[in-house]
A = this chain, B = another copy of it.
Amino acid sequence: MQLGMIGLGRMGADLVRRLMRHGHRCVVHDVQPAAIDVLQNAGAVGAASIDEMMSLLEGPRILWLMVPAGAVEAALADLWSRLAPGDIVIDGGNSYCRDDMKRSVELGSKGIHFVDVGISGGTSGLARGYCLMIGGEEDVVVYLTPLFTALACDAHDAREDAGKHATHDIGLATDSSAATAQSGYLYCGLHGAGHFVKMIHNGIEYGMMAAYAEGLNILRCANVGTQKQEVGAEVTPLRHPEYYQYTFDLADIAEVWRHGSVIDSWLLGKVAEMLRTDPTLAQFAGRVSDSGEGRWSVEAAIDEGVPAPVLSAALYARFASRGQSVFADKLLSAMRYAFGGHLDIATPRDA
């Protein structure tokens, strides 16, 4: 098939490369001309403007947006007058599913199809293939199948993976959605469904990341009994220093867990790799960003009245890592001072 890719950042460029490997024709555009050049050298057709891109594509045209969530609205406004009935717009970024719903109605009023695709895989996806969560009109999604099979974590990998992980043979999927799921892409439902599932995917990702981070932090501090303790009435002394005399090699531990354990995961491979390379993680400041899906996952839980304590705790740890709890902490110290005359330690925070 042929398609126009708008947005050639890390993800957009990799998608184009993988699509071209599978024989698809890609017309590419970015606000940075240099990004166009790079892909043109790799075999893509460069388009210096949206107008040029539209003219280089045959109808019905497939336009794939791969821009930050905050830039989608402007990109759609740009496209609006240039689109014709039957054209298909795909939003492959991390948009909020509520925006998908609104946009599908607006585009639909002009006969234009809208498809939302949540993509996971990161920088490994080019080689490994991606996991695709797709929303929109089912027949339109089916029509786009060749693109999704090109991008998805391919069938061979999937089989190998199933073989390694399954305790018994799952067998061939008996229905088509299950079959595509085993091939790394899934039609999830109407407009927004793809991004809804991706949102929860990321919510879970935050929770898993935090589980590893907390556990390894506890292991790292398992030598606390060997250290000189703070004195004074304000911090309780460690009752049993003899239990905390271990100095663990976190990189080795992360590595051994990758072989046969219940907590083995793709993410754990990344943890092991990073700890091997930089055991103290000195290159990181510990101010963790969040890109929206974790927040929206928690808001969905609240709207539904469903508890999500782990996903929330993982999110809050990121907020706190950016200093957002400092006023609350000061207020705790202020209360302690007011009722008990306690003066909390005033040295600066560790970094």
Q: Is the CB of B304 within 8 A of A308?
A: no
Residues in chain B near residue A314, CB distance under 8 A: 211, 310
Q: Is the CB of B335 within 8 A of A317?
A: no
Point out which of A185, A233, A265, A346 has the most chain B C-beta atoms below 10 A from its C-beta.
Answer: A233
Q: Is the CB of B101 within 8 A of A328?
A: no
Could you say which of A46-54, A57-65, A80-88, A249-257 contacts chain B?
A249-257
A23–B216 CA distance with the chains assembled, in angstroms:
36
Nearest chain B residue, comparing its CB with the CB of A299? B299
Question: What 0/1 readout, one digit per residue, does chain A (231-259) give for beta carbons within 8 Å of chain B?
Answer: 11111111110111111110111011111
Q: Is the CB of B243 within 8 A of A273?
A: no
Contact of A157 (CB < 8 Å), options: B242, B259, B300: B259
Contact A304:B338 (CB < 8 A) given known A121-B260, A253-B188: no
Q: Is the CB of A309 within 8 A of B313?
A: yes
A267 beta carbon closer than 8 Å to chain B: yes
A208–B237 CA distance with the chains assembled, in angstroms:
24
Contact A288:B336 (CB < 8 A) given known A101-B243, A165-B258, A178-B276: yes
A313 to chain B, nearest CB (A): 4
Question: What 0/1 readout, one digit per residue, does chain A (329-341) give for beta carbons within 8 Å of chain B?
Answer: 1111111111111
Q: Is the CB of A260 within 8 A of B207?
A: no
Q: Is the CB of B160 within 8 A of A164?
A: yes
Copy tally for this chain in the complex stands at 4
Contact A259:B129 (CB < 8 A) given known A308-B214, A314-B310: yes
Known contacts A129-B260, A204-B215, A320-B325, then 16 further A-B pairs from the complex at CB < 8 Å, ordered by chain A residue = A70-B233, A70-B237, A98-B243, A123-B340, A196-B219, A196-B222, A204-B212, A207-B310, A208-B211, A210-B328, A218-B306, A264-B266, A307-B317, A310-B313, A317-B329, A326-B351
A349 beta carbon closer than 8 Å to chain B: yes
A138 beta carbon closer than 8 Å to chain B: no
A26 beta carbon closer than 8 Å to chain B: no
A278 to chain B, nearest CB (A): 7
A141 beta carbon closer than 8 Å to chain B: no
A255–B339 CA distance with the chains assembled, in angstroms:
17
A92–B182 CA distance with the chains assembled, in angstroms:
36
A124 beta carbon closer than 8 Å to chain B: yes
A181 beta carbon closer than 8 Å to chain B: yes
Q: Is the CB of B220 within 8 A of A327?
A: yes
Q: Is the CB of A324 within 8 A of B307?
A: yes
Contact of A189 (CB < 8 Å), options: B122, B170, B248, B297: B248
Contact of A186 (CB < 8 Å), options: B124, B203, B256, B347: B256
Contact A259:B170 (CB < 8 A) given known A243-B97, A322-B345, A326-B350: no
A217 beta carbon closer than 8 Å to chain B: yes
Contact A216:B178 (CB < 8 A) given known A131-B260, A167-B273: no
A183 beta carbon closer than 8 Å to chain B: yes
